[in-house]
Amino acid sequence: MASNSICYDLHCHSTASDGALSPAALVRLAAQQKVDVLALTDHDSTAGLAEAATTAAETGIRFIPGIEISVTWQKRLIHIVGLGIDESYNELQNGLVRLREDRRQRAAAIGERFAKIGMAEVYERACELAGDVVSRSHFAMALVEQKAAKDIQQAFRKYLQKGKRCYVASEWSSLEEALGWINGAGGQAVVAHPARYNMNRTLMNAFLEEFGGLGGVGIEVSCSSHSAPQAELMADFAEAHGLLASVGSDFHSPDTSWAKLGVTHPLPERCRPIWQDWALDSI
């Protein structure tokens, strides 16, 4: 397949959200890793896009401006990636300002949970580590630094994931809002890591039906959180719902062994890739 000769990574994070590398350092690493087409998709922020685009132009990488928006759908946290967005679209930016404020409020509530168990310094450090987007990942980093967890995963397992003592639920944007912002900004909306939501077939079909109806066009088929059988299953869902397939490492840090920048499995042959109509020469 021709696409195999071009390396796409359409999902990753920088210090503009919960990634470890600055946008410029991230793009330089992508160049080293032989990525040809890179999308930066920080959580609820476009603050890293300009720097990434400049470095991409210097290194010869084709750059796609992106976003990963936090959505609440039927009480579940769902991430929707937007690819090829125009970040100057006002409604998108207004929505992202609101989401970042919701994140700050949730972080303060998480901080109260930690204070109650005698760990007030976790919140203070998380706020120092975070820029404009405060994420549970920053709490996890603080917990690792303060030796309350041996690694990020354990920090989530012990304190931060749903059901654990410092977890606080929040209401993010609706699916309709997120797709409206992405489409209004001229982007393509893609369901991030769909196998991670633990939806059964019936629920996934209902979700994708609604997603497509609201103007969503793609789902990630190949990504670091999918096993090979999960990628095949997602390829089935893409086919059944007439959706395009995307690939992304969801890279956050060079220290994470299971998500390396530019490293994803190729899409199954039967998939129609999200980039099928992209005019790459003009990127």
Q: Choose between 13 and 62: whose C-beta lies nearer to ligand AMP.
A: 13
Q: How far is the CB of 151 from Mn ion (least distance, A)?
A: 15
- For residues 5 to 44, the per-residue mask of contacts with Mn ion, x marking binding by CB under 5 A and - elsewhere, is -------------x--------------------------
Cβ(207)–Cβ(73) below 8 Å: yes
**Which of ligand AMP, Mn ion, none does residue 192 bind to, with CB < 5 to 8 Å depending on kind?**
Mn ion
Given Mn ion, ligand AMP, none, residue 136, with its beta carbon under 5 to 8 Å by kind, binds ligand AMP
Pick 92 or 160: Cβ nearer Mn ion: 160
Q: Does 192 bind Mn ion (CB under 5 A)?
A: yes
Q: Closest separation between CB of residue 252 and Mn ion, Å?
A: 6
Residues in 213-272 that interact with ligand AMP by CB under 6 A = 252
Name which of 62 and 136 has its Cβ closer to ligand AMP. 136
The number of CA neighbours under 13 Å toward the Cβ of 142 is: 24
79 is a contact residue toward Mn ion (CB under 5 A): yes
Cβ-Cβ contacts under 8 Å for 248 (sequence gap 6 or more) = 9, 10, 11, 12, 39, 41, 81, 192, 220, 222, 223, 224, 264
Q: Which residues of 184-215 are buried (b: 16+ CB within 10 A; e: fewer)?
A: bbebbbbbbbbbbbebeeeebeebbeebbebe
Which listed range, 78-86, 151-159, 209-217, 233-241, lies at the site for Mn ion (CB under 5 A)?
78-86
Using rule CB under 6 A, residue 161 touches ligand AMP: yes
In angstroms, rounded to a whole number, what is the distance separating the alpha carbons of residues 189 and 92? 13
Checking DSSP bridges between strand 8-9 and strand 37-40, what pairing results, if any? Answer: parallel
- Rounded alpha-carbon distances, angstroms, from residue 4 to 56, 112, 193, 263, 266: 21, 49, 21, 12, 7
Of the residues 11, 62, 113, 136, which one makes contact with ligand AMP according to CB under 6 A: 136
Question: Tokens representing 90?
Answer: 């006002």
226 binds, among Mn ion, ligand AMP, none (CB under 5 to 8 A by kind): none
- Whole-number Å distance between alpha carbons of 189 and 210: 13
Nearest approach, Cβ of residue 3 and ligand AMP (Å): 26
| CA dihedral angle for residue 166, residue 172, residue 175, residue 179, rounded to 10 degrees | -120
**Does residue 113 interact with ligand AMP by CB under 6 A?**
no
Site residues (CB under 5 A) for Mn ion, limited to 206-265: 250
- Say which residues have a Cβ less than 8 Å from residue 213's Cβ, sequence separation at least 6: none
Q: Which residues bind Mn ion (CB under 5 A)?
A: 18, 68, 79, 192, 250
The contact set with ligand AMP (CB under 6 A) reads: 18, 43, 70, 135-137, 152-153, 156, 161, 252
